Amino acid sequence: MADGTDPLLRLAGATVALGGRTVLEAADLSVGAGELVALIGPNGAGKTTLLRAALGLVPLSAGEVAVEGRTGRRAGQGAGYVPQRHEFAWDFPIDIAGAVLTGRTRRVGWLRRPDAADRAAVEEALELTGLTGLRRRPVGELSGGQRQRVLVARALAAGPRILLLDEPFTGVDVPTQELLNELFGRLAAEGRGLLMTTHDLAAAARTCGRVVLLNRTVVAQGGPELLADPDRMLRAFGLDRAIGTVAAP
């Protein structure tokens, strides 16, 4: 990083091939403590694959991933992950508190009963996401915005320093988006690092300190003003040069 400290997340030459096709190629990216970074690109650009590669959920065919300085297959286990909502089993008979507790599985294990530290972590995550009063509501009864907050709380319960979020604003109402924006800013201010995929260019320009344009590889990265650069947006999206006006906050 510019200040000489090691990033919380670093991808160097990260390449992923799935089904014989290269979906991520020689991607270089880093996220430092206190950063909220937007990962932006068209559908099929490899954004979710990049997050999963960082977590160690898909193998690299070349390159390296380091999380808090750790490398290797298990390096990403210390990161928090907020998947897209459809990836969670919302029909499972569990309440909000129970769903958030599953975020502690790597620490608690499947057989050990949760202790006071686990319960305290769940309570803090519920409070941060505004879910304390709903803790006993079954997850199958939740709205889209409430479900998104559950996924964020579940990731926070593990106490990660780096948080990876896959389209956290898709299909949520405005109050939920505002709550999450405020929360993500607060987490960054506390020294955590956040990498967030999003299609909302205007929101990214307002709230993120840095943006990364991805289309199978990293096309460009820099400050939010990058979203108003028509040439680089054209390279990332293959759209008309006028796209640059969309991102103006």
In a domain, 200, yes or no: yes
CA distances from 100 to 9, 82, 142, 233 (A): 24, 12, 14, 37
In a domain, 106, yes or no: yes
105/45 Cα distance (integer angstroms)? 31
Q: Are residues 73 and 166 in the same domain?
A: yes
Domain tally, the chain: 2
> Which domain, by its residues, includes 146?
98-159
Q: Are residues 18 and 118 in the same domain?
A: no
Q: Are residues 192 and 150 in the same domain?
A: no
The tens-digit pLDDT sequence of the chain (249 residues) is 545 578 999 999 999 999 889 999 999 999 999 999 999 999 999 999 999 999 999 999 999 999 998 887 777 778 999 999 988 999 999 999 999 999 987 665 556 678 899 999 999 999 999 999 999 999 999 999 999 999 999 999 999 999 999 999 988 999 999 999 999 999 999 999 999 999 989 889 999 999 999 999 999 999 999 998 888 888 888 764 433 444 443
Q: Tally helices (H) and strands (E) across the chain.
A: 8, 10
Whole-structure pTM value? 0.87
In a domain, 92, yes or no: no
In a domain, 84, yes or no: no
For residue 34, the domain's CATH number is 3.40.50.300
Place of tokens 């769940």: 122
Q: Are residues 126 and 185 in the same domain?
A: no
Q: Are residues 14 and 130 in the same domain?
A: no
